[in-house]
Amino acid sequence: MESKSNRSALAKGFFEQGYNCCQSVVLAFAEDIGLSDETALRLASSFGGGMGKLREVCGALTGAFMVIGMKKGYISPDADAEKAAQYALIQELAESFKQKNGSILCRDLVGEDYAPGDATPGKRTQAYYDSRLCAGLIGDAVRLLEEKLK
């Protein structure tokens, strides 16, 4: 695994290797949040394509939420102040992402509608990468996440 000093480029590189958007973000922070690469990849695997290709919340943003949970999450059901702080941080990150990109929904960001029953992942060809905004969205999610973690 290469240096974590430029996580944005690292996460984009993971996407270009074939990992989904959520996996790419979480994997870039795996060591820092105490997860093995395998655990990070498995944990984030269901959230590509806007959550299982449902085109809901962007996978890159979902990955950023997961990292925040690991870094600043609460564990007690009675931790009302911590829960409020956590939710506020998530809402701030989502709003920053929305301001930058116009939406937090995969279908709005990549321009594809949900097709019921279509779980087939897109073929990862050069044309696929050239037509996708995902690498830029991954970079945005990581940069915004790093700002919120400071």
Residue 1 has a pLDDT of 38
Please tell me the distance from the alpha carbon of residue 84 to that of residue 61, in angstroms, as a whole number.
19
Residue 116 has a pLDDT of 65
Please tell me the distance from the alpha carbon of residue 76 to that of residue 118, in angstroms, as a whole number.
38
Residue type, 7: R
Residue 120 has a pLDDT of 74
Residue 125 has a pLDDT of 78
Residue count of the chain: 150
Using only the alpha carbons of the chain, give its radius of gyration.
Answer: 15
Cα angle vertex 101, ends 21, 117, to 5°?
A: 50
DSSP secondary-structure letter at 120?
Answer: P
CA distances from 148 to 32, 41, 97 (A): 15, 23, 12
Regions of the chain where pLDDT drops below 70:
1-5, 113-116
| Count of CB atoms situated within 10 Å of the CB of 81 | 9
Please check whether residue 135 is in contact with residue 8, taking contact to mean a CB–CB distance below 8 angstroms: no
Residue 3 has a pLDDT of 44
Exposure string for 85-118, b = 16+ CB within 10 A, e = fewer = ebeebbeebbebbeeebeebbbbebbebeeeeee
